[in-house]
Amino acid sequence: MAKDSTIEETKQTLVQRFRAWGENSFPPTILASLIFAQHARPFQFFPMLFPPVLLFSSYANLSGFKTESAGISAAWSGLYLLLAARRRQPMMKKFGTRGVVRGATMGLCLVQMIGGGLAYTLGKKEGEEDESSM
């Protein structure tokens, strides 16, 4: 039998997957879009402070500040999750369009908070030197 010439994929641990999620610039952009969709009509001032910060986090990530932007998006995602969890919703409204969008937003906030927190905690900052080379 001939050996398969494809490169075997290595299995990533759960921590590595969350860290890769936190270092990605796409999830904060999606999160900002979902938050905007929920609070633009009727306009709610306080929740609308979150999309610009999350979009700035994506911009900072694309500019090369992956660790710092992961920390920003994790902190603001956790803050929004805390804000959204305070609002109670009747059971019948949870299965409508707004309820599904709200649930998806809260789930994405949780994943972004975990992934961004891991990426910020385990990542290296710009200009940080290795301690082993000293």
Alpha helices by DSSP H, the chain: 14-22, 26-39, 50-62, 66-86, 97-122
Condensed to tens digits (0 to 9), the pLDDT of residues 51-110 reads: 999 999 999 999 999 999 999 999 999 999 999 998 877 776 778 888 889 999 999 999
Ordered by start, the domain boundaries in the chain are: 14-123
Q: Two tokens at 35?
A: 């938050």
Top pLDDT among 93 and 6 is at: 93
Q: Two tokens at 72?
A: 């920003």
Distance (Å, whole) CA 52 – CA 31: 11
